């Protein structure tokens, strides 16, 4: 995403590449750019669960229409923009984090949201993500579990969270 490219450009390019590999080459993706000055998040997703934006007691699902999996139907890609508040946490995840036999997808997402809210605010970085996964999945592990968590740093504090 250099030289002014947008998330939809990256998703489209990846989809074209996978489609050129022939049938059976596909993947899901969430691609975004966050501008901390304007607080604008520009994002595109393809066959990927909608990321969550957690703000105090509110949870927003970034569920713009998205598109099909990468490698399938290249022409139907889109992106969306949202202005985020000063204090939020973006949680992007694979379906393996919330899907479990005998548990509905919505119940899995609700369990994820509860686990995010239960995390101590002082825990950040990889430790935060590891604690979240352990809180949702436990130690038994599952296939296809990945989470990316982003919190902005307070203005005037040059460090990253």
Q: What is the per-residue pLDDT for 25? A: 83
Mean pLDDT of 2-12: 84
Q: Are strands 29-35 and 58-61 parallel, antiparallel or unpaired?
A: unpaired
Distance CA 67, CA 148 (A): 20
Distance CA 13, CA 152 (A): 28
Instruction: State the pLDDT confidence band at 159, using cuts at 50, 70 and 90.
Output: very low
Q: What is the per-residue pLDDT for 53? A: 94
Residue 88 has pLDDT above 70, yes or no: yes
Q: Are strands 40-46 and 80-83 parallel, antiparallel or unpaired?
A: antiparallel
Tell me the two tokens of residue 65: 């229409």
Percent of the chain surpassing pLDDT 90: 34
Distance CA 133, CA 126 (A): 11
HEC readout, 71-118: CCCCCCCCCEEEECCCCCEEEEECHHHCCECCECHHHHHHHHHHHHHH
């Amino acid at each position: 995403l250099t030289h002014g490219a947008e998330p939809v450009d990256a998703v489209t390019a990846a989809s074209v590449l996978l489609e050129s590999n022939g049938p059976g080459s596909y993947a899901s993706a969430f691609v975004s750019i966050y501008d901390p000055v304007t607080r604008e998040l520009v994002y595109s997703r393809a066959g990927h669960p909608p990321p969550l934006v957690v703000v105090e007691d509110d949870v927003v699902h970034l569920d713009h229409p998205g598109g099909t999996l990468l490698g399938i139907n290249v022409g139907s890609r889109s992106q969306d923009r949202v202005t985020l508040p000063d204090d939020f946490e973006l949680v992007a995840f694979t379906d393996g984090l919330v899907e479990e036999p005998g548990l509905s997808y919505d119940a899995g997402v609700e369990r994820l949201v509860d686990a995010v809210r239960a995390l101590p605010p002082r825990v950040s970085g990889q430790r935060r993500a590891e604690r979240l996964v352990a809180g949702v999945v436990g130690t038994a592990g599952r296939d296809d579990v990945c989470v990316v968590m982003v919190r902005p740093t307070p203005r005037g504090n040059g460090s990253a969270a």
